[in-house]
C-alpha cells in the first residue's frame, strides 16, 4: 500500500518554504518530488534594468548567508568584462572575507545538523562560536550579514594592524573549538549512529546529477572551484580539497569540519602575506559588449553567474545559478529509500538556501494587483452574500440540544 | 591536457558538427553548434574529455533568436556550447539523455523563455505560480512588468 504525503511549503522541520511530495511505502520513501517557486523575487529580470554598480548591491541580496559569494561572483565577472586588473591588496582582503564567510556558514550548518540529529547542545556550542566570526566580519566590514565589501577593482574598506591582530587571536580560539568538534563528531556514538548511512548518494549518481560542493565532495569527488578554476588569489594559497568517501550525511559533516580547518589556514596565510598598496583601482562606468561565465566556490558549492554586456551601463542578461538548485536532483536521489524521520536531516545536509535557489519571477498575481487584497468589510460582505445564496432549510434541521 | 588541446581536438575530430570553436578567455572554450547536433557534441565532450558537470544552461533573448548556452566544466576548462533557435520556432533538444542533471535547468528555460524542450523527461512548470497566465514568459525582453499601484487595505 502506497501513500502520498505532502511536506511543506510551510512546515516546522523546514526553515524556508519548499514543497516535497513523497510516495511512501510504510515508513520508507519510494519517490519524492520537489515543487519550487514559493520564494520568488524576480532578481534576474530586475538586474537587466539596473546599472552595474546598483547590481552589486542587488546580487548581494540574493542570499542572506552567502551574500558575499554572490556579490564576489558577480564582481569578478564584471571585472573581466571591464578588462580590469584589481588591486592586489584588495584581492587579498576579498579572499579573506570569502573565507570568513565560509567559516560562519559551515559553523551555522554544523549547528543545524546537530539540531536535526537531536543534539541540541552541539547546536548551542557551534552557534556561540559562530558569533566570534560574525564579530570579526562586523568589525572589518561594518555589517554582520551584507558586508558590501566588494567594488569593481578591489574592496571598499582596508584593514589595519589592530584588526589583523584581533583576527589572528580569534583564530586560535576557533581552531581549538573546531578540533573539539571534530573529535566529538567522530567519537560520540549517538551522533555518529544518527548520521552514518543516512542519505546515501553514490559517486556515479552524484556526478551524473551534477551535484556541487560538500555534497559532491562527500561522495569522493575532489571538485572545488578554488582549485579547478582559481579566482581572486587562490592560485597563490596552499590548501587541500577536503573529501570523504562515506557518501552519507556523516561524510558531509566531516567534509565541512575539514574545510573549516583549511579555511583557518587560508585566513592565517592571507593575513601574514597581506601586500601593501591600494585596495582598489578606478573602474570604468560603461562596459564593452562581451560575455563572461564566472564561477565561485560558495560554502554550499559552485556558484555560477553568466553576465552578458551590451555596451551600455546596464547588463543585457544576468543569469544566476545558486548551488542549492544544482543539488536538488541529488537530494531527490538521497531521499529515495530513506525514512520519513530522515527527511529534515537529509535536506539539511545539502545546506539548502531556498532564497538563493529561487530568484527568478515576479510575485503571484502581481499583475492583477488590488483584486487580491480584500478589506475586512469586503470579506464580511462577501460572506453575507454567500450565505444568502445557500438555501438553509431551517425547519428540517433539528438542533440536538 | 590544456584548453588549447581541447580546441584543437574539437576542430579536428568533429569539424562537420561544430560551426565555430575558439578560446575566448583563459580556461573558457567557446563552441557554436547547430541545434540538431547539440547532443552529438555533448556526448563527444563526455566521451573524449570526460565533461560530465553541467554548470547551468543560460538563455538569452536576442530578439529574433534565442541563444541557449550549456556551460560544461571540469578541472581544465569550461566549455560553453551555444545554440541558436529562432523565435518563431523555439524548439531545442533535451540533453537529459547525456546529462541527467540538466532537468531542472531545462524546465526553468521552458518557464522563463517559452522554449519547447523536445523529449524532456518531465515537462511540468518549475518556478512559475500555478495560476500564471499561459503564454507569458518573464525573461523575454518584450515582457515588461508594470507594477500595479499599491493599495493599502483599509486605507483611503
Say which DSSP state A351 is in.
-
Q: How far apart are the CA of B14 and the nearest CA of chain A, in angstroms?
A: 24
Between chains, do A37 and B127 touch, taking CB under 8 Å as contact?
A: yes
Q: B58: burial class by Cβ within 10 Å (0-12, 13-18, 19+)?
A: buried
Q: Which of B101, B112, B154 sits opposite A210 (nearest CB)?
A: B101
Average pLDDT of the segment spanning B124-148: 86
CB A134, CB A291: distance < 8 Å: no
Residue A73 with chain B: CB contacts under 8 Å? none
Q: Which of B59, B132, B139 sits opposite A45 (nearest CB)?
A: B139
A134 alpha carbon, distance to own chain's centre:
16
Write down the domain spans for chain A. 36-357
Q: Is A326 on the interface with B (CB under 8 A)?
A: yes
> Phi and psi (nearest 5°) for A92?
-65, -45
pLDDT of residue A178: 92
Mutation choice for A interface testing from B29, B97, B101, B130 by most A CBs within 10 A: B101
In a domain, B154, yes or no: no
In a domain, B12, yes or no: yes
Q: What is the pLDDT of residues B2-55, one digit of tens each?
A: 889 999 999 998 888 889 999 988 899 999 999 999 999 999 999 999 999 999
Residue A364 with chain B: CB contacts under 8 Å? 129, 131
- The alpha-carbon radius of gyration of chain A (Å, integer) is 24
- Cα–Cα nearest to B80, from B109, B108, B60, B104: B60
In a domain, B139, yes or no: no
**What is the C-alpha separation between B84 and B82, in angstroms, rounded?**
7
Between chains, do B101 and A326 touch, taking CB under 8 Å as contact?
A: yes
Helices (H) and strands (E) in chain A, counts: 15, 8
Between chains, do B71 and A40 touch, taking CB under 8 Å as contact?
A: no
pLDDT of residue A365: 43
Between chains, do A325 and B104 touch, taking CB under 8 Å as contact?
A: yes
Cell of A294: 564566472
**What is the C-alpha separation between A44 and B127, in angstroms, rounded?**
13
Q: Which of A40, A208, A304 sits opposite B101 (nearest CB)?
A: A208
For A306, nearest residue in chain B (alpha carbons): B58
pLDDT of residue A397: 54
In a domain, B137, yes or no: no
pLDDT of residue A401: 52
pLDDT of residue B110: 92
Residue B127 with chain A: CB contacts under 8 Å? 36-37, 40, 358, 360-361
Between chains, do B151 and A370 touch, taking CB under 8 Å as contact?
A: yes
Alpha carbons within 13 angstroms on the beta-carbon side of residue B18 total: 24
For B61, nearest residue in chain A (alpha carbons): A317
Q: How far apart are the CA of B53 and the nearest CA of chain A, in angstroms?
A: 5
Residues 6 or more apart in contact with residue A50 via CB below 8 angstroms: A58, A314
**What is the C-alpha separation between A277 and A90, in angstroms, rounded?**
9
**What is the C-alpha separation between A322 and A66, in angstroms, rounded?**
10
Instruction: Enter the pTM of the model.
Output: 0.87
Residue B100 belongs to domain spanning? 3-118
- Cα–Cα nearest to A238, from A269, A264, A212: A269
Fold (CATH) for A36-357:
Cytochrome-c3 Hydrogenase; chain B (1.10.645)
CB A324, CB A350: distance < 8 Å: yes
Residue B71 with chain A: CB contacts under 8 Å? 293, 304, 306
In the predicted model, what is the mean pLDDT of chain B? 90
Say which DSSP state A378 is in.
H
In a domain, B33, yes or no: yes
Number of domains in chain B: 1
Cell of A137: 566580519
For A296, nearest residue in chain B (alpha carbons): B55
Between chains, do A210 and B99 touch, taking CB under 8 Å as contact?
A: yes
**What is the C-alpha separation between B9 and B48, in angstroms, rounded?**
9
Q: How far apart are the CA of A58 and the nearest CA of chain B, in angstroms?
A: 17
Q: Which of B52, B55, B104 sits opposite A302 (nearest CB)?
A: B55
For A307, nearest residue in chain B (alpha carbons): B58
- ∠ Cα A338 A339 A343 (to 5°): 85
**What is the C-alpha separation between B62 and A32, in angstroms, rounded?**
37
Between chains, do A228 and B75 touch, taking CB under 8 Å as contact?
A: yes
DSSP A35-95: E--SS---HHHHHTTS-HHHHHHHHHTT-SSSHHHHHHHHHHHHHHHTT----HHHHHHHH
Residues 6 or more apart in contact with residue B47 via CB below 8 angstroms: none
**Which residues does chain A have with pLDDT short of 70?**
354-375, 390-401
Q: A356: burial class by Cβ within 10 Å (0-12, 13-18, 19+)?
A: buried
Is-cis flag, bond preceding A9, omega within 30? yes
Q: Is A371 on the interface with B (CB under 8 A)?
A: no
For B77, nearest residue in chain A (alpha carbons): A229
- Cα–Cα nearest to A174, from A166, A46, A396: A166
Domain harbouring B19, CATH code: 3.30.460.80
Between chains, do A208 and B111 touch, taking CB under 8 Å as contact?
A: no
In the predicted model, what is the mean pLDDT of chain A? 86
Q: How far apart are the CA of B11 and the nearest CA of chain A, in angstroms?
A: 22
How far is residue B52 from each of residues A128, A244, A324, B9, B98, measured CA to CA in Å?
40, 20, 18, 18, 9
Amino acid at each position: 500500500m502506497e501513500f502520498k504525503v505532502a511536506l511543506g511549503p510551510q512546515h516546522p522541520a523546514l526553515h524556508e518554504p519548499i514543497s516535497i511530495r513523497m510516495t511512501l511505502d510504510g515508513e520508507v520513501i519510494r519517490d519524492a518530488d520537489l515543487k519550487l517557486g514559493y520564494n520568488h523575487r524576480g532578481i534576474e529580470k530586475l538586474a537587466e534594468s539596473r546599472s552595474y554598480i546598483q547590481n552589486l548591491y542587488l546580487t548581494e541580496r540574493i542570499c542572506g548567508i552567502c551574500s558575499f559569494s554572490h556579490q564576489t561572483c558577480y564582481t569578478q565577472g564584471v571585472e573581466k568584462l571591464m578588462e580590469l586588473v584589481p588591486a592586489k591588496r584588495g584581492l587579498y582582503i576579498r579572499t579573506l572575507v570569502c573565507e570568513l564567510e565560509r567559516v560562519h556558514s559551515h559553523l551555522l550548518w554544523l549547528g543545524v545538523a546537530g539540531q536535526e540529529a537531536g543534539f541540541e547542545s552541539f547546536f548551542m556550542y557551534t552557534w556561540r562560536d559562530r558569533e566570534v566570526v560574525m564579530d570579526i566580519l562586523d568589525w572589518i566590514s561594518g555589517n554582520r550579514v551584507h558586508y558590501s565589501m566588494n567594488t569593481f577593482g578591489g574592496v571598499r574598506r582596508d584593514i589595519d594592524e589592530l584588526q589583523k591582530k584581533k583576527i589572528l587571536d580569534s583564530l586560535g580560539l576557533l581552531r581549538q573549538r573546531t578540533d573539539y568538534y571534530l573529535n566529538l563528531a567522530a567519537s560520540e556514538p549517538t551522533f555518529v549512529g544518527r548520521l552514518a548511512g543516512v542519505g546515501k548518494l553514490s559517486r556515479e549518481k552524484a556526478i551524473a546529477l551534477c551535484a556541487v560542493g560538500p555534497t559532491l565532495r562527500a561522495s569522493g569527488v575532489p571538485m572545488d572551484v578554488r582549485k579547478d578554476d582559481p579566482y581572486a588569489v587562490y592560485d597563490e594559497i596552499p590548501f587541500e580539497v577536503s573529501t570523504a568517501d562515506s557518501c552519507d550525511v556523516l561524510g558531509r559533516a566531516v567534509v565541512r569540519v575539514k574545510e573549516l580547518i583549511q579555511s583557518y589556514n587560508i585566513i592565517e596565510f592571507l593575513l601574514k602575506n597581506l601586500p601593501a598598496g591600494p585596495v582598489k583601482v578606478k573602474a570604468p562606468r560603461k562596459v564593452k559588449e562581451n560575455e563572461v561565465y564566472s564561477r565561485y566556490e560558495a560554502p554550499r558549492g559552485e556558484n555560477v553567474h553568466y553576465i552578458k554586456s551590451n555596451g551600455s551601463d546596464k547588463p543585457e542578461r544576468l543569469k544566476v545559478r545558486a548551488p542549492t538548485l544544482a543539488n536538488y536532483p541529488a537530494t531527490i536521489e538521497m531521499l529515495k529509500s530513506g525514512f520519513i524521520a530522515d527527511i529534515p536531516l537529509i535536506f539539511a545536509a545539502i545546506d539548502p538556501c531556498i532564497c538563493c535557489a529561487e530568484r527568478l519571477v515576479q510575485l503571484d498575481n502581481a499583475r492583477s494587483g488590488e483584486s487580491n487584497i480584500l478589506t475586512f468589510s469586503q470579506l464580511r460582505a462577501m460572506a453575507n452574500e454567500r450565505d444568502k445564496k445557500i438555501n438553509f432549510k431551517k425547519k428540517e434541521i433539528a438542533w440536538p440540544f | 591536457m590544456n584548453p588549447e588541446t581541447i580546441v584543437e581536438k574539437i576542430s579536428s575530430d568533429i569539424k562537420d558538427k561544430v560551426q565555430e570553436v575558439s578560446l575566448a578567455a583563459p580556461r573558457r572554450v567557446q563552441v557554436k553548434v547547430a541545434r540538431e547536433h547539440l547532443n552529438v557534441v555533448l556526448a563527444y565532450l563526455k566521451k573524449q574529455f570526460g565533461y560530465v558537470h553541467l554548470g547551468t544552461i543560460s538563455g538569452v533573448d536576442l530578439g529574433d533568436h534565442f541563444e541557449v548556452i550549456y556551460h560544461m566544466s571540469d578541472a581544465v576548462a569550461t566549455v560553453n556550447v551555444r545554440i541558436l533557435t529562432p523565435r518563431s520556432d523555439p524548439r531545442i533538444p533535451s540533453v537529459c539523455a547525456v546529462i541527467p542533471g540538466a532537468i531542472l535547468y531545462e524546465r526553468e528555460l521552458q518557464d522563463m523563455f517559452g522554449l519547447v524542450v523536445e523529449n524532456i523527461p518531465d515537462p511540468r512548470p518549475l518556478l512559475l505560480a500555478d495560476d500564471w497566465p499561459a503564454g507569458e514568459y518573464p525573461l523575454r525582453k518584450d515582457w515588461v512588468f508594470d507594477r500595479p499601484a499599491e493599495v493599502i487595505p483599509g486605507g483611503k
